[in-house]
Every structure is written in structure tokens, then in C-alpha cells.
Amino acid sequence: MSETTRSRFRFTVNEHGDGAPWVKLEPLNPRLLPELGEGFFGFDLKPGVSHEQAKKLAALLYESVESMTFTKL
């Protein structure tokens, strides 16, 4: 039997040590995903993606994604 958990996420832009942007995904209610613990997900972006493009992507994801799911088998 599988168990699926859904959660809304916050998408924020962060920078690697070299200044390259990446998008951090943090659950708005961490208690819904206890498997994640104190952790988070992230998207590494392709070389050349600007900080401004990353901010637009993060905003689009937040506006467009209702929830993300985690299914434990």
C-alpha cells in the first residue's frame, strides 16, 4: 500500500558560491512531510540563467503549482 502526502511549497532563489542562481523549494507546512525533516529540495539551473530569470521562474512556479506530492511505497 502506498501513502501520498501533498503540500504547498515556497520557491525562493538562492545563489551557489560562484553566484549561479538555484531555486529552493520549502514546504509551507513542514509537518506534512516528516520524511523531509529539516531538509529541502532544490533546482539547479542551467548555466547562463540569470538571477532575474530565476526569480521569474520561482514566481511562476509559486503561482502555478497547487501542491507537490510525495508518495511512500
Mean pLDDT, each 10-residue run in order, the chain (73 residues): 89 97 90 76 96 98 92 85
13 forms beta bridges with: 23
- Mapping DSSP to helix (H, G, I), strand (E, B) and coil, where does residue 31 land? helix
Residue 39 is predicted with a pLDDT of 79
Sign of the Cα pseudo-torsion (68, 12, 20, 46, in order): positive
29 forms beta bridges with: none
User: Global pTM?
Assistant: 0.83
Residue 55 is predicted with a pLDDT of 98
CB 11 within 8 A of CB 41: no
Residue 65 is predicted with a pLDDT of 96
